């Protein structure tokens, strides 16, 4: 169920290039990028699916660093209230260099649970929970000794992060949200938000008693697939529309608007924090997979940002979602040069940030009553992309003087 | 005139009789006594003053709601001397058919029992009780060995019984004549035709606003939605059951639905209700019933495998296990053509003093039963509330979907209504499907028996169930089934086998219920 291959092959006029041939578009993986980007010449029209130093956003330790720096800057420029809008990231410390800062924070909050994550691994590998310093002292000894034995392999970087102990539960289960954000450029910042996404459920019931049971706490589908309870038919995912409806019937539309507004805030601020650091090459674009966790007070937390979100489909529904996501991504990349560049919506993507906030077409008023700006995002809302694409391309065709 | 008056008097007497035993009566009595302390109550005009007090304090509204609730549920007697069986089911041949179907089910249950040597009921040892209590909120993690259990029956078994129903007073002979029905159902019950349905469902017409149509993204909310939400909030603040039922015919806003349904079903959240649920829970902990395994098996086979309802697995056990022990459900058998199965204490077969109803609530679950509960988990999260709503929905509506009766909302009538609508308004399609051996009812039966749960997307299903509550009738299920066939008629005309027809109709998850209903009822040229 490889969605990417299917979408690329089905795109009219696109041909797959073999081996060393010249390409105009490359959906590359990050290792190729690391080795080849710097000495690859690209014509003006060529597009590639990653930014050179995307890891400033996607590696947990760099992201934390950038976010902390951005927060300080905001506090200086706009005050504490504005800076507090960046408090969507649980307290994180890089290991081993911030170990002492971590211990200080640890001692200030006795009894809480912490989670240790490797900075560069994915799919839930290498993650564990702990409550006592003793647990990580043991771990430190283990990793250092194995490194010594192996000789010159450096100790992997980890981050210690405050574990969110009161996640929002549905049916007694913990879940996180996977949301897709497409960034077309950083300078200026242009970002699109996809309407669809999904909630990934843990297979077992949430309890703080079993911090050793990684199946309970980690909601990655990859980890869930290895759980003894896992039944492939279940899929354990909910489309975002279903999730949004569930919340609306439980908490009312206002609370849901606030929650989704807070999530928009996460996307925009996280991108702003790395805006000046990422090398903005006009050939590059990137489709990020954001992992968000909601707590019981309906506050969203950013867990991490993925530069290469999984494009393999786990079910028919998942296949539809990912193929449509990729098709719309390619529409926006616009190798065919059909768009005017002034569009606010393409298929399932809504333009979220265009060097500034983007207003809604219909001039909708703000439901929260705070006089806040109503953004052009429709996460978890109806995605009538086929209809919209038809209308869009028909009108574009009408505007062109010479037919294709 | 006189007849109507005496009918009314009879109805009033019956309702008063029914309400006399309820908690509401006790509460009203207490309130009346307490009101004597108030200065405005005077001895000379005691009756009027207390009535006035009830009106102001909202107790009259509660009484109104209770009466309205009774009127909805209890069938009106046709004759004061009618025996109780007539309330259950007036037609003898239907009663007989239901009786023999019940015998079959019970036989199947008993033989499973003997085969597996499992008792119908047993007391749990203390250790097991403690374990179950600890695991109460996560019974879904249990993986008992259910391979030897099989569901007592599935909807298609029930369909075969309905197909063989015959009215002995209606002589058809063995040969096909113009009086033989073209569909599967061969009993002559009266069903509504489209003009009558148009009148019945007048609020679904093209000139009235609807949730499910007029709240879509293209329609500005000022046109209908905002006002509708405002009215909904007003209805809720007035706590008026009848008004809520009328209001919900045009659909319920998502945020108000849970409360509106509770108001229409007239459920309360008094401490007594929570206590009652806790009592049921204790019963579950103390005794293990054979039907529990059937429930487990059903949940694992159906709801747990559903892409959306798997999350609520634990709630389903908490509701269904308690439901089987709830003897108050036995009350609905007064107007249900079915009767609760009887079992005898070991060794006392046939002795009436040792007869008990099994299961205690008299309802044996079948394959797919848990899907009646699953959509409700979307609205109610507190177990005792969820339980109450499900129980009310069952004793008002769902029981009609698996018992043989002549009631217009009974499954037999729904099947006949579906087939008649299809034959009358899509004769070419009906004929074609019949010719290729794909009788439409064979496909739509399972949708109707489950009230479309598990087939439609949840938000669409809830809009459909809004209308079931609003019109106090299940006929909309048959109309929707016909509308679905009408919608996919073009594809269905091209199929050449039952399997292909099933495939065309396999996925209903993208359908929008209200536009389909509106088009079928109001916008098709007849």
Is B456 inside a domain boundary? no
CA dihedral over B333, B339, B341, B345, signed as positive or negative:
positive
The residues in B 181-240 lying below 8 A from A, measured between CB atoms, are: 216-217
- Name the pLDDT band for B395 (thresholds 50, 70, 90): very high
Calpha distance A227→A225 (Å, rounded): 6
Domain ranges of chain A: 1-89+173-361+373-403, 91-143+156-163
CA dihedral over A135, A137, A141, A147, signed as positive or negative:
positive
Split into its structural domains, chain B has a count of 2
CA dihedral B363, B368, B372, B373 (to 10 degrees): 90
Complex-level ipTM: 0.76
pLDDT for B144 beyond 50: yes
Is residue A237 within 8 A of residue A314, CB to CB? The reply is: yes
Task: Dump pLDDT digits (tens) for B235-244.
Answer: 999 998 999 9
Is B12 inside a domain boundary? yes
Which candidate from B254, B313, B459 shows the least CB-CB separation from A171? B313
- Of residues B151 and B474, which shows the higher confidence score? B474
Is residue A86 within 8 A of residue A334, CB to CB? The reply is: no
**What are φ and ψ of residue A315, in 5° steps?**
-160, 175
Provide CB contacts within 8 A for A238, sequence distance 6+: A175, A198, A199, A201, A246, B307, B308, B311
Which candidate from B254, B305, B313 shows the least CB-CB separation from A249? B254
The confidence score (pLDDT) of residue A29 equals 85
The confidence score (pLDDT) of residue A151 equals 45
Calpha distance B254→B432 (Å, rounded): 41
Which candidate from A171, A172, A382 shows the least CB-CB separation from B217? A382
Answer whether B311 sits within 8 Å of A170, measured CB to CB: yes
Take residue B56 and report the two structure tokens written for it.
């102001």
Take residue A9 and report the two structure tokens written for it.
């092959």
Same domain, B16 and B124: no
* Average pLDDT across chain B, whole number: 87
Stated as kind and residue range, the H or E segment containing B514 is helix B513-522
- Of residues A308 and A217, which shows the higher confidence score? A308
Same domain, B9 and B93: no
Min distance A365 CA to chain B CA atoms (Å):
12
Is B25 inside a domain boundary? yes
Top residue of A206, A213, A238, A246 to mutate, by most chain B CBs within 10 Å, is A246
Same domain, B21 and B119: no
Same domain, B331 and B354: yes
Least confident range of A216-220, A361-365, B108-112: A216-220
Overall average pLDDT of the B189-206 stretch? 90
The confidence score (pLDDT) of residue A153 equals 44
DSSP-assigned states of every residue in A90-147: --EEEETTTHHHHHHHHHHSTT--EEEEESS--TTTT-EEESSHHHHHHHHHHHHHHH
Q: Which of A81-85, A156-160, A366-370 has the highest mean pLDDT?
A: A81-85
Is residue B21 within 8 A of residue B270, CB to CB? The reply is: no
Q: Which domain holds residue B56?
A: 1-36+46-80
pLDDT for A361 beyond 60: yes
Stated as kind and residue range, the H or E segment containing B299 is helix B290-301
* Average pLDDT across chain A, whole number: 82
The CA–CA distances, whole Å, from A332 to A329, A349, A373 equal 5, 9, 25
Q: Give every strand in the sheet of A128-130, ordered side by side.
A: A92-95, A158-162, A114-118, A128-130
Is B411 inside a domain boundary? no
Take residue B288 and report the two structure tokens written for it.
């293990």
Overall average pLDDT of the B35-64 stretch? 81
DSSP-assigned states of every residue in B426-453: -HHHHHHHHHTT--HHHHHHHHHHTTTT
Q: Which residues of B touch A249 (CB under 8 A)?
A: 254-255, 257-258, 378-379
β-partners of residue A200 are A176, A237
Task: Dump pLDDT digits (tens) for B415-445.
Answer: 999 999 999 999 999 999 999 999 999 999 9
Q: Which residues of A touch B459 (CB under 8 A)?
A: 245
Same domain, B101 and B26: no
Min distance A356 CA to chain B CA atoms (Å):
26
DSSP-assigned states of every residue in B201-260: TGGGSTTS--TTTTTSTTS-GGGTHHHHHHHHHHHHHHT-HHHHHHHGGG---GGGHHHH
- Name the pLDDT band for B60 (thresholds 50, 70, 90): confident
Task: Dump pLDDT digits (tens) for A241-262.
Answer: 989 989 988 898 889 999 999 9
- Name the pLDDT band for B90 (thresholds 50, 70, 90): confident
CATH class, A1-89+173-361+373-403 region: alpha beta
Provide CB contacts within 8 A for B343, sequence distance 6+: B120, B355, B356, B357, B358
The residues in B 362-381 lying below 8 A from A, measured between CB atoms, are: 377-379, 381
Last residue of a domain, one of B398, B426, B447: B398
Calpha distance B470→B266 (Å, rounded): 13
Which of B65, B378, B380, B397 has its CA nearest to residue B236?
B65
- Name the pLDDT band for B76 (thresholds 50, 70, 90): low
- Of residues A97 and B515, which shows the higher confidence score? B515
Is B499 inside a domain boundary? no
Is B51 inside a domain boundary? yes
CATH class, A91-143+156-163 region: alpha beta
- Of residues B321 and B38, which shows the higher confidence score? B321
Same domain, B339 and B292: yes
Is B441 inside a domain boundary? no
The confidence score (pLDDT) of residue A128 equals 80
What one-character DSSP code corresponds to residue A366? Answer: P
Is B72 inside a domain boundary? yes
The confidence score (pLDDT) of residue A370 equals 45
Task: Dump pLDDT digits (tens) for A71-112.
Answer: 999 999 988 888 888 889 888 888 878 888 888 888 888 888
Strand boundaries in A163-252, DSSP class E = 169-170, 173-185, 190-205, 237-239
Overall average pLDDT of the B74-92 stretch? 75
Answer whether B308 sits within 8 Å of A382, measured CB to CB: no
Min distance A235 CA to chain B CA atoms (Å):
7
Last residue of a domain, one of B346, B373, B398: B398
Same domain, B320 and B381: yes
Which of B333, B466, B330, B474 has its CA nearest to residue B401?
B474
In the block, which residue shows the tokens 């209908």? B224
What b-and-e string marks burial along B176-211, b requiring 16 or more CB atoms within 10 Å of the CB? eeeeeeebbbbbebebbebeebeebbebbeeeebbb
Same domain, B393 and B315: yes
């Amino acid at each position: 169920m490889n969605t990417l291959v299917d979408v690329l092959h089905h795109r009219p006029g696109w041909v797959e290039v073999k081996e060393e041939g010249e390409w105009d578009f490359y959906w590359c993986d990050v290792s190729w990028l690391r080795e080849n980007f710097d000495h690859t010449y690209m014509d003006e029209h060529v597009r590639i699916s990653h930014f050179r130093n995307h890891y400033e956003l996607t590696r947990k330790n760099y992201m934390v660093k950038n976010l902390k720096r951005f927060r300080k800057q905001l506090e200086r420029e706009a005050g504490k209230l504005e800076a507090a809008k960046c408090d969507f990231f649980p307290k994180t410390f890089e290991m081993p260099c911030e170990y002492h800062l971590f211990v200080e924070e640890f001692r200030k909050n006795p009894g809480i649970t912490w989670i240790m994550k490797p900075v560069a691994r994915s799919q839930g590998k290498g993650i564990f929970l702990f409550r006592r310093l003793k647990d990580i002292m043991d771990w430190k000894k283990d990793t250092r000794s194995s490194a010594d034995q192996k000789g010159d392999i450096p100790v992997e970087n980890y981050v210690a992060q405050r574990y969110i102990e009161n996640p929002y539960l549905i049916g007694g289960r913990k879940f996180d949200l996977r949301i897709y954000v497409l960034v077309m450029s950083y300078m200026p910042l242009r970002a699109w938000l996809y309407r669809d996404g999904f909630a990934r459920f843990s297979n077992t019931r949430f309890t703080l008693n079993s911090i050793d049971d990684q199946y309970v706490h980690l909601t990655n589908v990859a980890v869930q697939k290895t759980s003894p309870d896992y039944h492939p038919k279940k899929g354990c995912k909910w489309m975002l529309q279903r999730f949004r409806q569930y919340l609306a019937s439980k908490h009312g539309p206002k609370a849901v608007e606030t929650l989704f507004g807070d999530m928009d805030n996460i996307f925009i601020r996280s991108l702003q924090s790395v805006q000046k650091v990422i090398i903005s090459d006009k050939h590059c674009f990137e489709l990020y997979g954001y992992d968000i966790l909601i707590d019981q007070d309906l506050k969203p937390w950013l867990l991490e940002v993925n530069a290469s979100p999984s494009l393999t489909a786990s079910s028919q529904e998942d296949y539809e979602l990912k193929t449509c996501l990729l098709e719309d991504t390619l529409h926006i990349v616009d190798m065919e040069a059909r768009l005017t560049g002034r569009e606010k919506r393409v298929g399932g993507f809504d333009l979220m940030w265009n060097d500034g906030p983007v207003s809604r077409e219909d001039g909708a008023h703000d439901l929260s009553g705070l006089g806040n700006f109503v953004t052009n995002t429709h996460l978890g809302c109806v995605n009538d992309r086929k209809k919209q694409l038809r209308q869009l391309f028909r009108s574009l065709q009408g505007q062109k003087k010479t037919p294709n | 005139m006189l007849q109507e008056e005496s009918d009314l008097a009879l109805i009033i007497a019956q309702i008063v009789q029914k309400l006399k035993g309820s908690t509401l009566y006790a509460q009203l009595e207490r309130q009346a006594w307490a009101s004597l302390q108030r200065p405005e109550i005077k001895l000379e005009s005691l009756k009027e003053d207390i009535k006035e007090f009830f009106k102001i304090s909202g107790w009259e509204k509660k009484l109104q709601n209770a009466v309205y609730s009774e009127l909805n549920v209890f069938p009106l007697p046709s004759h004061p001397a009618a025996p109780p069986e007539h309330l259950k089911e007036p037609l003898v041949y239907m009663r007989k058919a239901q009786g023999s179907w019940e015998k079959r089910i019970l036989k199947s249950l008993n033989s499973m029992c003997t085969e597996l040597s499992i008792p119908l009921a047993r007391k749990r040892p203390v250790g097991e009780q403690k374990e179950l209590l600890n695991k109460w909120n996560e019974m879904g993690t249990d993986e008992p060995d259910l391979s030897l259990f099989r569901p007592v029956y599935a909807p298609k078994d029930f369909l075969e019984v309905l197909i063989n129903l015959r009215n002995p007073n209606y002589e058809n002979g063995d040969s096909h004549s113009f009086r033989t029905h073209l569909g599967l159902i061969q009993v002559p019950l009266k069903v509504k035709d489209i003009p009558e349905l148009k009148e019945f469902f007048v609020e679904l017409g093209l000139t009235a606003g609807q949730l499910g149509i007029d709240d879509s993204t293209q329609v500005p909310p000022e046109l209908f939605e905002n006002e509708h939400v405002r009215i909904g909030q007003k209805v809720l603040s007035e706590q008026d059951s009848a008004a809520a039922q009328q209001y919900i015919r045009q659909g319920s806003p998502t945020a108000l639905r849970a409360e509106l349904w509770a108001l229409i079903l007239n459920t309360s959240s008094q401490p007594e209700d929570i206590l009652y649920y806790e009592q049921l829970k204790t019963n579950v902990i103390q005794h293990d019933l054979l039907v529990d395994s059937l429930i487990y098996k059903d949940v694992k086979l159906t709801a747990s495998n559903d892409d959306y309802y798997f999350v609520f697995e634990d709630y389903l056990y908490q509701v269904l296990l308690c439901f089987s022990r709830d003897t108050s459900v036995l009350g609905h058998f007064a107007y249900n053509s079915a009767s609760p199965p009887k079992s005898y204490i070991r060794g006392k077969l046939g002795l009436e003093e040792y007869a008990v109803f099994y299961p205690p609530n008299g309802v044996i679950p079948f394959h797919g039963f848990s899907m009646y509960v699953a959509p409700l988990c979307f609205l109610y999260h507190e177990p005792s509330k969820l339980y109450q709503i499900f129980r009310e929905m069952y004793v008002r509506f769902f029981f009609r979907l698996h018992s043989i009766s002549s009631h217009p909302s009974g499954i037999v009538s729904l099947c006949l209504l579906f087939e008649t609508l299809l034959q009358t308004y899509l004769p070419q399609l009906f004929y074609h499907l019949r010719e290729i051996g794909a009788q439409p009812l064979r496909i739509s039966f399972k949708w109707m028996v489950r009230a479309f749960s598990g087939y439609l997307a949840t938000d669409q299903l809830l809009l459909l169930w809004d209308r079931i509550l609003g019109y106090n009738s299940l006929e909309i299920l048959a109309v929707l089934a016909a509308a679905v066939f009408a919608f996919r008629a073009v594809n269905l005309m091209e199929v050449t086998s039952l399997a292909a027809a099933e495939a065309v109709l396999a996925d209903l998850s993208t359908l929008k219920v209200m536009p389909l209903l509106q088009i079928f009822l109001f916008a098709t040229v007849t």
